[in-house]
Amino acid sequence: MKRVSLIIPTYNEAENIETLIKEIDGVVNKSFVDFEYIIVDDNSPDGTGSIAEKLKETYPVRVIHRSGKLGLGSAVIEGFNLSTYEYIGVMDGDLSHDPIILNDMVGELENCDIVIGSRFNKDSLVENWKWWRRVVSVVGVFLAKMISGVGDPLSGYFMLKRSVIDEVELETKGYKILFEILVKGKWSTIKELPFTFRMRRHSVSKLNMSEYILFAKQIALYAIYKYQSFFRYFVIGSTAFILDMGSLYVLKEYFDIHPAFAVALNQIFVLSYIFILNKIWTFSSKEKTRHSLIRFVSLQMFNYSFGILWMWIFYEQVGINYLIARIANIILFTAWNFLLYKKWVFKKN
């Protein structure tokens, strides 16, 4: 038996909420899932809150009443805080999310961390959207996709294991709560299930201009968050280069040390600098230092030999200018080292 807290944020869904709960109750496979509904209502003027209260008599419903319209994202977060079950789902209260895929979503969670109801899979259908809404949606999704690596990272319909968001600070007030979870949450596998996004039957969308501005901010913020470690790695690489040149110069000019010995000396210094700062600052790795060190040294040794082979191939065999060949090699190493540092040398733990 899988226990699922289904969070439904509502603002003016008086005409929809009961239909929705009935519909869900009609499709869930009760021999396999146990749903509780957490309705988070922001004191809807149309009385959604009291309808939700009445639903408690018939269904396993819990209701959070908030003082006023405080935003979709924060409503979802309050729902997270109230839920105790191992699986948590989020769904719109306006009937636009077809509940028919709920059983499959729960089923998929046995093999992955997050399941997303996706509007953009090839089998998904989006009924009847106005053209400008399509454009805005496509552009937003494109940007968010680049950052999160997921097909529909802005969907409001998803389910996850509670471990994904345990101890994760979520703060989105706006619409893109899933996007924030994708960027900050602890997950490794995702499944997207196509579904039909139905036009809301009653009332109107509350996605307005300020939500779009909030979203633009979010994209910028998460891009920085996501690329933060690459940025730090890059800062360390550039300063290491300056240290390398500077120490070489000092050793040769002021101490009169032969450049070959000078390199032997300064490499120890420069590599220690790269190792320590990347470990502590870029990747804040909790891996044992000696493990990281062995991997780091092996990687440098591999790169060393690879650099020789590379030069031999491109300069000797292909006939490319040696400086260009070296620059290409360095660019390759920059990307390659970053990936290996992250996944192997300085693993999180």
| Site residues, Mn ion (CB under 5 A) | 94, 96, 200
Distance linking the first and last C-alpha atoms of the chain:
32
Q: Name the closest residue to ligand GDD (Cβ).
A: 156
Asked whether position 153 contacts ligand GDD by CB under 6 A, the answer is no
Nearest distance, CB of residue 13 and Mn ion, angstroms? 9
Asked whether position 75 contacts ligand GDD by CB under 6 A, the answer is yes
| Region 191-220 residues binding ligand GDD, contact defined as CB under 6 A | 200, 205-207
**73 versus 237: smaller Cβ distance to ligand GDD:** 73
Asked whether position 72 contacts ligand GDD by CB under 6 A, the answer is yes
Nearest distance, CB of residue 121 and Mn ion, angstroms? 19
Residue 153's binding partner out of Mn ion, ligand GDD, none, with CB under 5 to 8 Å set by partner kind: none
Look up residue 175 and give its DSSP letter: S
Nearest distance, CB of residue 153 and Mn ion, angstroms? 17
Task: Compute the distance between CA of residue 333 and CA of residue 335 in angstroms, rounded to an integer.
Answer: 5
Residue 173's nearest CA partner among 248, 107, 49, 76 is 76
Q: Where are the alpha helices (DSSP H) in 56-165?
A: 72-82, 102-108, 131-148, 162-165
Which segment (9-17, 120-128, 180-188, 238-246) binds ligand GDD by CB under 6 A?
9-17
| Region 96-135 residues binding ligand GDD, contact defined as CB under 6 A | 96
Task: Compute the distance between CA of residue 27 and CA of residue 30 in angstroms, rounded to an integer.
Answer: 9
Asked whether position 83 contacts ligand GDD by CB under 6 A, the answer is no
Asked if residue 182 lies in contact with residue 170, where contact means CB atoms within 8 angstroms, the answer is no
Count of alpha carbons within 13 Å of 313, Cβ hemisphere only?
9
Count of CB atoms within 10 A of residue 142's CB? Answer: 9
Nearest distance, CB of residue 299 and ligand GDD, angstroms? 41
State the Cα angle at 139 between 133 and 143, rounded to 5°.
145
The amino acid that residue 327 corresponds to is I
Asked if residue 45 lies in contact with residue 19, where contact means CB atoms within 8 angstroms, the answer is no
- Can you tell me which of 124, 137, 267, 300 binds ligand GDD, judged by CB under 6 A? 137
Nearest distance, CB of residue 206 and ligand GDD, angstroms? 4
**155 versus 266: smaller Cβ distance to ligand GDD:** 155
Q: Which residues bind ligand GDD (CB under 6 A)?
A: 9-11, 13, 40-42, 69-72, 75, 92-94, 96, 137, 154, 156, 175, 200, 205-207
